[in-house]
Chains A and B, each alone.
Chain A
């Protein structure tokens, strides 16, 4: 009971070639920047975009040979695409009706699904009367009402405002947990991916650059894009024991490694000084402040120098040190706060 797929889509200036696997009940997130090919991958799974190569196998059955309407799938589109001429109930009943369920029974099924997503009282409403959050839930009910084996969600929360998003995200998580089939969701929002998915597949330029459990991906990013998403400074270097050479700098880490490695540390691990600090922290370098911006409760300072890094300091520290762009500072990171792992 699972999904195995290799999706190859060849376009004049773009090639998508990704392999994905997921077990029943699992939620897999395709995470990547805009234009990486995530939506193309999702459309290929649905059969809306033809494959140039590869295969889609669901529960041991080849899916790629079937036309869209014969695939056991449910799709939630980014802007939902609820049929504007049908009520919420009729939208949800549409799938069961197409799959041969008698009208009365299809309407009962649809009513039950609307009840489950908490929209029983909006059954008669046309889509344009629904709020964004409500429309999203109708779209989810519509996709689930056909009892798919493979649920595909394209940026399911992207069209919602921040407040609705929080609420719908937790509801969506609950519905996905109750769903027995495979879920593949596409998002460019790392938070959506971390909260909703059991497994992340990071796609950049049409290829998988990293995959794993969300916690693992967040701890050990492998590309600059992922590092930025999870908010870590990331460097490539060559390790010899507890020392890693990153460009011209020798960096001290707690792990004992050899060969090519990645070194990551959070911006909050970086300390800044006006003058060279007393004592000698292991990792100390001279940096120039490139920019200062507000970042949640703290202030993010972007540093240029031998190591381009982001540092998070308190507003008080900015005032005490009188930090401003263009200024030279000393930056340090404790070896214990870095994390090195084989590249």
Chain B
């Protein structure tokens, strides 16, 4: 804390009187509630056998699958989500508010319900899945591609909301300036809009990736739990908990480490901000 901030803090306390216990006690309990489980994870971790456990093929396989599918899902979200965010932010059309509400549904929907919905549409008997199989011989459920679909479904709102916010905050007059220089709408998007909102896209992509990495409900419902094919880290953790609790702790530690790394990378944007 800088000297000025310290002085300001002291003055505010002096003016407002003692910090009330009624607020401090629940606040401390809340903090403990959030932090203790993570601390427990660290305390109970089998540190001595950790390197060996991490090197187990099953763990590595789940980790590899998680990283690959989360990255692929993020890519899908970028390709579809950035244009969607652009349309929501820059094109006015009737029902825009409704569309924006629809986009955020996966945020509040229980992921299992999302998985069921995906099965109904993209399953072998599903509305689109049936046609996909007949026309292209493509089946999505219970495949690695299915994992990507489930993760993208759940994670895309994070990207769309973040990018749309960045687009709304960006000064649209830069786009006007580009138009007066002869740029078409596509050129403006590519050479002016995208670079201007790049930080928002990166933040959205990281959040999206983190959400995809932790996805459980929609994945297990839509893609099942096949080691090496659809068994991602969270699924492996859940399965290991029943048979081999120590392995579950190790896998959880890896996911925790990834989360902390993401938080650190977004520090300035989400945590450090005013």
Contact surface of A with B, Cβ cutoff 8 Å: 46, 48, 67-71, 73-75, 77, 81, 83-86, 94-95, 98-99, 142-143, 146
Contact = CB atoms under 8 A, between A and B. Distances in A.
Given A83-B192, A84-B196, A146 B182 contact: yes
Contacts of B183: 69, 94, 98
A99 B196 contact: no
B2 interface: no
The 7 closest A-B pairs by CB, nearest first: A95-B181, A98-B182, A81-B177, A85-B195, A68-B179, A75-B180, A98-B183
Nearest to B198: A85
Contacts of B179: 48, 67-69
Q: How large is the interface on B (under 10, 10 to 19, 20 to 34, 35 or more residues)?
A: 10 to 19
Interface string B81-102: 0000000000000000000000
B226 interface: no
Nearest to A99: B182
A84 B174 CA distance: 9
A21 B273 CA distance: 53
A48 to B, nearest CB: 5
B181 A46 contact: no
Contacts of A81: 171, 173-174, 176-177
Contacts of A95: 181-182
Contacts of B184: 69, 98
A67 B184 CA distance: 10
A48 B184 CA distance: 14
A120 to B, nearest CB: 21
Nearest to B175: A81
A70 to B, nearest CB: 8
Nearest to A90: B191
A48 B191 contact: no
Contacts of B202: none
Given A81-B173, A81-B174, A98-B187, A73 B180 contact: yes
A48 B176 contact: yes
Nearest to A68: B179
Contact of A75 (B171, B177, B192): B177
Contacts of B176: 48, 68, 81
Contact of B174 (A75, A83, A98, A146): A83
Interface in B162-203: 171, 173-174, 176-184, 187, 191-192, 195-196, 198
A100 to B, nearest CB: 9
B196 A46 contact: no
Contacts of A67: 179
A46 B180 contact: yes
6 contacts: A69-B180, A71-B180, A77-B173, A95-B181, A95-B182, A98-B184
Nearest to B176: A48
Given A81-B174, A83-B174, A94 B181 contact: yes
Contacts of A70: 182
Contacts of A48: 176, 179-180
A338 to B, nearest CB: 47
A152 to B, nearest CB: 8
Contacts of B180: 46, 48, 68-69, 71, 73-75, 143
Q: In this complex, which of A46, A71, A81, A146 has the most chain B Cβ atoms within 10 angstroms of its Cβ?
A: A81
B196 A85 contact: yes
Given A70-B182, A85-B198, A94-B191, 14 more contacts: A67-B179, A68-B176, A68-B179, A69-B182, A69-B183, A71-B180, A73-B180, A81-B171, A81-B174, A83-B174, A83-B196, A94-B178, A143-B180, A146-B181
